Amino acid sequence: MSITVSNVSKSFGDFHALKGIDLEVPSGELVALLGPSGCGKTTLLRIIAGLETPDTGNILFNGEEATNRHVRDRQVGFVFQHYALFRHMTVFDNIAFGLTVRPKKTRPSKKEIREKVHTLLKLIQVEQMADRYPAQLSGGQRQRVALARALAVEPQVLLLDEPFGALDAKVRLELRRWLRRLHDEIHVTSVFVTHDQEEALEVADRIVVMNQGKIEQQGTPSEVYDRPATPFVFDFLGNVNLFQGRVHEGTAKMGGLVVETPEHAGTRNAPAVGYVRSHDIEIERIPFDTASLAAQVHGVVTVGPLVRVDLKLPGNVEGIEVDLSRDVADRLDLKVGELVYARPRKVRVFTDDYVI
Amino acid sequence: MKAIGKKQSVLPGFGPSLGYTVFYLSFVVLIPLSALVFKTASLSWSEFLAAVTAPRVLASYRVTFGASLLAAAVNGIFGVLVAWVLVRYRFPGKKLIDALVDLPFALPTAVAGITLSSVYAANGWVGRYLEPRGVKVAFTPLGILVAMIFIGLPFVVRTVQPVLEELDHEIEEAASCLGANRWQTFHRILFPTMLPAILTGFALAFARAVGEYGSIIFIAGNMPMVSEITPLLIITKLEQYDYAGATAIASVMLLASFLLLLAINLLQKWSRRHAEQ
């Protein structure tokens, strides 16, 4: 089932959580709502679910008006960050709940319910735990049970609110891959909310980046990562270094960094900021060409597979961060205090009408 | 226990504090209770049986335990309602009502008894409207019930309230998303979650009602065989210098209360089986 969000706004007192959101989720897609906390992503999800009502605007399911439809009748599965399992019920009863509350006419028989629940238990890989209570499960297991409970009613739409937010790193990684595989199997239209860019990039078919109640950009993971539409998106997805400067008729000069920016050909002497991802910078001891910037090594930290190098540049107060792979770092064998040359491979220049 | 004592603990003083606890409980609870048993033991078995099964005594058990159970049940329902309203809704004067709930805790029981009997008497504020309709409250067993409900209410409200406050709103939203209507959400999700607290409140209200004396004797009428509660009977026996008889009845009450509380505790344990481990 496709979801259409049209011109939805919502305020809580003086706080404008959503400002005229338009969004289209095609049937069968897995979409991530990505943004910092307070950007309105959870509010949008809850409005789609019917747990909140929008102040203005409409929600359409399959093109049909659903703004005033009650949660009960929307056929949405909702997964909460903190699981919201029924503590006094066993895993089995939790999953069966949605089926057992149906009116007599449409309620499946006891036997059908049992079969259905066991199929789901197999799907979430906790078959032997049917008789346990939620308190006896690990976080990852609880979240899978919550997902199975939502799926039991065969929802048209699956909505997940920071589903992996309360789990530890390893389980989170495991579970999000599992969710991706599950989605490839059952293809139910899904929207999940996250503030973790890596999670969104890995799991989603499409990412909707939100900030301050508005959508900044939407697109496939590679589109938003490789071609960020705004400085905010650039900054939010991955580590980024900023170079302050000016742009004049298609040439940006930022400190010692000079970049051709044909898209700003019409701009005359305006302040500009160059954005460079930390893995898009090379470090050498001898300058490659005139684009290389002299810098001083300020710190070297090994972060798992990467080596993070802090560089001080003349005229750049904040300094820049460079991520090198281990073998490159080993070859260079950088020492703190040493003078090197840095060369940005990819620079994206935004003029100052965007402000983060 | 040895292992706990020997281990280096962040909280020192396990030995002395356990010793103090045992001493304190013995001094305050066990010694008076054992005196009760010893005093009773001065009777022979047949004297004991005769003392505790006299028709007047049996009738008082019926009145006391029957009314206490009924009062606790009434509080179990209406106390939950009060707690629900106090937690779920916002309205002017909420704080005041919240404070009023504790009044029966603080009020001297004799004051409560006198107030209740004057309100429910034939010429009282409420009694004057009830009496013409054939409902006699003051000086009847119904009065006992009213007094017991009055003193028991805070127990249920105050035990259920924190549980309701802690109840995660998401639980109800989850049930709603799964297609449950309000009634299904209440009786399948909310009620089972509250049940252990309701049972605790019920048990406390019951125990308090069984032991209540001050407020009841004013409103009960105290007619032997009809509206005489067991604590009053014990006082009567004491006034007649029948110490052994009084303690015999008291020990029966003690045993009955103990058994009932045990049963409620087991029920409670069963109702929170999901929280174990």
Domains of chain A: residue spans and CATH: 3-234 (3.40.50.300), 239-351 (2.40.50.100)
Q: What angle do CA A306, A308, A312 make, to 5 degrees?
A: 160
Number of domains in chain B: 2
8-state DSSP, A254: E
Question: CATH number for the domain including B191?
Answer: 1.10.3720.10
Residue A356 confidence (pLDDT): 43
Cα distances (Å, whole numbers) of residue A277 to A159, A345, B67: 32, 9, 77
B175/B267 same-domain check:
yes
Bridge partners (DSSP) listed for residue A282: A343
Q: Do A135 and B192 touch (CB under 8 A)?
A: no
Residues of chain A with pLDDT below 50 are 354-356
B119/B166 same-domain check:
yes
Taking the CA of residue B181 and the nearest CA in chain A, the distance in Å comes to 7
Closest CA in chain B for residue A135: B275
Helical segments of B167-242, H only: 169-177, 182-185, 191-211, 214-220, 230-239
Residues of chain B with pLDDT below 70 are 1-8, 274-277
B196/B269 same-domain check:
yes
Helical segments of chain B, H only: 2-6, 14-25, 31-41, 45-52, 55-88, 94-100, 103-106, 109-120, 127-130, 141-166, 169-177, 182-185, 191-211, 214-220, 230-239, 243-271
B22/B52 same-domain check:
no
Instruction: Write out pLDDT tens, residues B240-271.
Output: 998 888 989 998 988 888 888 888 888 888 87
Q: Do B177 and A135 touch (CB under 8 A)?
A: no
B108/B28 same-domain check:
no
Mean per-residue pLDDT of chain B: 87
The answer to whether the beta carbons of residues A274 and A346 sit under 8 Å apart is no
Q: How far apart are CA B120 and CA A202, in angstroms?
A: 73
B126/B178 same-domain check:
yes
B15/B106 same-domain check:
no
User: Global pTM?
Assistant: 0.80
Rounded to the nearest 5 percent, the helix, strand and coil shares of chain A are 30, 35, 35
B138/B73 same-domain check:
yes
B157/B223 same-domain check:
yes
Instruction: List CB contacts (< 8 A) between A80 and chain B.
Output: 170, 173-174
* Residue A297 tokens, joined: 């090594």
B37/B54 same-domain check:
no
ipTM for the predicted complex: 0.82
B189 close to A (CB below 8 A): yes
Instruction: List CB contacts (< 8 A) between A133 and chain B.
Output: 273-275
Instruction: List CB contacts (< 8 A) between A78 and chain B.
Output: 173-174, 177
Q: Do B274 and A88 touch (CB under 8 A)?
A: yes
A86 close to B (CB below 8 A): yes
Residue A241 in 3-state DSSP? strand
B268 close to A (CB below 8 A): no
B27/B50 same-domain check:
no
**Which one of B173, B178, B189, B268 makes the best mutation probe of the A interface by having the most chain A beta carbons within 10 Å?**
B178
**Which one of B163, B177, B183 makes the best mutation probe of the A interface by having the most chain A beta carbons within 10 Å?**
B177
Residues 150-169 of B with CB under 8 A from A: 168
Range of the domain at B16: 1-41
**Burial call B106-124: b when 16+ CB within 10 Å, e when fewer:** ebebeebbebbbbbbbeeb
The answer to whether the beta carbons of residues B158 and B203 sit under 8 Å apart is no
Residue B276 confidence (pLDDT): 55
Instruction: Write out pLDDT tens, residues A189-229.
Output: 999 999 999 999 999 999 999 999 999 999 999 999 988 99
Residue B43 confidence (pLDDT): 86
B182/B216 same-domain check:
yes
Residue linked to tokens 């939805």: A8
Residue linked to tokens 């998303």: B177
Closest CA in chain B for residue A158: B177
8-state DSSP, B72: H
A134 close to B (CB below 8 A): yes
- Nearest Cα neighbor of A161 from A146, A145, A180 is A146
